[in-house]
Amino acid sequence: MGKVRSRRTKKSAVDNVGDDEDFSGTTGVVDSNVGPDEPPAFFGLVDSNELTYFHQAEQTLNLNTFSTPEERAMFVSSVFQESRGKELKLVTNQICSKLMERLILDSTLPQVHQLFNSFKGKFYQLSKQKFSSHVLETFLVRCASYLEKEILSNGFQEEYEDVEDASEAITLSMEEMFIQIIEEFKPHFNKMMLDKYASHVLRLLLLIITGKELPSSVESNSILRNSDDYKKNFQVPSSFKDQLKEILTTINSSQNCESFRELAINPIASPVIQLLIQLEGIVDKNRTIWSTIFNGDNELADPKDRSKESAFIEYLLSNNIGSHFLENAILAKRETTGIYVIQCLMEKLKNKQQLEILDQLIPIINELIVNNIDIGVKIIDCSIRNDNYEKTQIVDKFIEFFNKGSSDENNLLENILKLETSTLCSTKDDWPTSEERRRAIFYEKLMEFDSEKVLEITIDNLLSLDDEILLKFCKHGVFSHIIEKVLQLRDFIPLPKRKVLLNRLLGSNSTNLVDLACNSTGSHIVDSLWSFTFKLNMFKERIAKALFEHKDTIKSTIYGRMVWKNWNMEKYCRKFNDWKWDIKEEEKIYNEEHKNIKRASDDTLDSRERQHKRSRVRDRK
């Protein structure tokens, strides 16, 4: 559950005292871990006679030479009677604290209430003290066992044995008692996370109120490691969910991204943050702590914190404490956190290791992108960096996933973008959502990755849209980028297909074109049509003519004026032949560049072939 804590007293050098001071069992314990504004927990000294008695009692319980369980119970009861009123100074004493742990393990319900009444108001101070913190952990576990019995028996109450003032001692149910303990801790949760003893108490408290399995031991020297109450989980009341929610609210309200990240790499606080991340999903679907620490995808987060996320992840991977934190964060939210870590690894590792990751991810791509479509983009990027590694298999996997359960198996546009439920068909002029943006980015990347099959399907899907929807698509703040990407991939589209697509985009008259040119989003598509009409000069002149005929409308908007400039319409109006000459020059330059690229490619192939022949000759020799 955490790092090993020892009960051995250590000699510490005190600056203002020249000698080493031995904190023996008869001295008051000074908690060196207490902050300057908080006095150490001190509840008096155990005198020598008391120390002798309680030390012998501890040895007697440890040897367990009792003939019957009843005899042991009577002995425990007598020691409890002797300890009445002395509980606080006993639990803060090294030797006597061990006795108190043994007594708690054998305690009856009235005896638990006796201890609660003694500890009430002092739980926080006890949690910060070296020895009493162990006693407090044992006490919490014992309370949890009685709480479970109370739930199972619908209001369980044990027989009041020979305990004085039993009716006064037991005035609360175990549920109410536990809630009072939590309420005492609430104002101090942030301090407890940073305390080397209280942090253990806080983690145990969180495990109990969430009904999680308790660890087999709190620390290596604890007498609890053989207790039946450990290595099990207890039933807890439903009201504890509200308590967990309040705890998380208290912690979240006082922390921000930077402070949470500091706590994540703090050797004391990190295990607490790990546990909170594991448990917050019970009552917080948004997982506020996790989302605050890993906020790279959160558009509402501080841009400075988002920009530092990659550096933070890299630091976690290189730090012992950070790596443990990252491991538990992955296990707590695998579908998002784990994927984020894998994304970083695919970017940072060497090519050989990247290929090993791809080999493991490709067979399960469909499972990965269910909750996080961004991983699809990273897998494509990784494949591109490695010479389109397993390109065909990756594309087929994506198409299979998005077509699954669809009535139209080749309608990738609908299956990926979810057009029917998107803001495309909204009548409220809603802004595009972040989910639509992520899906559109993935679609663009997929088309760029496979400029044959996916691109062909996409064009067919666009052509199948009716004119009104296609126009909305071109003016949509996110989906319009997909059409821009199609226009940019003109070299992979046959001329007949380009002509059909142009006719659909331009419409039967020039109304659609003018509407797009004057629109903030559609104007980008009209700009892209210049290069898309390469070697289709009839369409280029048709577009220019439409712009010229509606020049007043075009020039009345800032977006229209940008289109007018990008299409070089001033030259079209004044020097039409020069405008056409520029088009011819553009084609000529393209042809020359294309020849040079082809020549360089052929030279590379020839050199590889010559090298291969030389190697074959050497092999024969």
The DSSP annotation for 494-553 comes to: -HHHHHHHHHHHH-SSSHHHHHHHTSTTHHHHHHHHHHHTTT-HHHHHHHHHHHHHTHHH
Per the structure block, which two tokens stand in for 468? 């009104």
Could you tell me the pLDDT band of residue 163, with boundaries at 50, 70 and 90?
very low
For residue 522, pLDDT over 60 is answered with: yes
Cβ contacts of residue 475 below 8 Å, gap of 6+?
515, 516, 519, 521, 522
Q: What is the pLDDT of residues 197-225, one digit of tens each?
A: 999 999 999 999 998 888 754 443 455 44
Which pLDDT score is estimated for 156?
A: 52
Tell the residue number behind the tokens 């996370």, with chain if given.
Answer: 193
- State how far the alpha carbon of 75 is from the alpha carbons of 62, 137, 166, in Å: 13, 23, 19
For residue 160, pLDDT over 90 is answered with: no
Which pLDDT score is estimated for 338?
A: 63
Q: What is the pLDDT of residues 342-386, one digit of tens each?
A: 777 788 788 888 899 899 888 888 887 877 788 888 899 999 999
* Residue 468 C-beta-side C-alpha neighbours within 13 Å: 1
Gap between the Cα atoms of 163 and 78, Å rounded: 10
For residue 456, pLDDT over 50 is answered with: yes
| Cα dihedral 28, 34, 35, 38 sign | negative
Closest CA to 73 of 158, 132, 136, 137: 158
Tell the residue number behind the tokens 């207490």, with chain if given.
Answer: 34
Is this prediction's pTM over 0.85? no
Closest CA to 201 of 250, 151, 139: 139
| Cα dihedral 416, 418, 424, 428 sign | negative
Q: What is the pLDDT of residues 103-147, one digit of tens each?
A: 999 899 999 999 999 999 999 999 998 889 999 999 999 999 898
21, β-bridge pairs: 12
Cα dihedral 303/304/306/312 (nearest 10):
180
Closest CA to 108 of 185, 174, 180: 174
Q: Are 268 and 194 in contact (CB under 8 A)?
A: yes
* Residue 264 C-beta-side C-alpha neighbours within 13 Å: 27
| Cα dihedral 512, 516, 518, 519 sign | positive
Q: Are 468 and 427 in contact (CB under 8 A)?
A: no
Closest CA to 30 of 110, 140, 131, 163: 131
Percent of the chain with pLDDT over 90: 31
29-33, 240-244, 352-356, 415-419: range with lowest mean pLDDT = 29-33
For residue 25, pLDDT over 60 is answered with: no
DSSP state of 407: S
Q: Are 445 and 394 in contact (CB under 8 A)?
A: no
Which pLDDT score is estimated for 184?
A: 93
DSSP state of 230: S
Q: Are 196 and 146 in contact (CB under 8 A)?
A: no
Closest CA to 247 of 293, 292, 196, 187: 187
One-letter amino acid of 288: T
Residue 474, H or E segment: helix 467-475
Q: Are 62 and 89 in contact (CB under 8 A)?
A: no
Cβ contacts of residue 156 below 8 Å, gap of 6+?
146, 149, 150
* Residue 223 C-beta-side C-alpha neighbours within 13 Å: 21
Which pLDDT score is estimated for 293?
A: 86
Q: For the chain, how long is the longest CA-to-CA vector?
A: 116
Gap between the Cα atoms of 512 and 542, Å rounded: 13
Look at residue 237 and give its three-state secondary structure.
coil
Which pLDDT score is estimated for 32?
A: 37
For residue 182, pLDDT over 80 is answered with: yes
Which pLDDT score is estimated for 225?
A: 46
Q: Are 243 and 299 in contact (CB under 8 A)?
A: no
Per the structure block, which two tokens stand in for 189? 């949760």
What does the pLDDT average to over 312-340?
Answer: 77
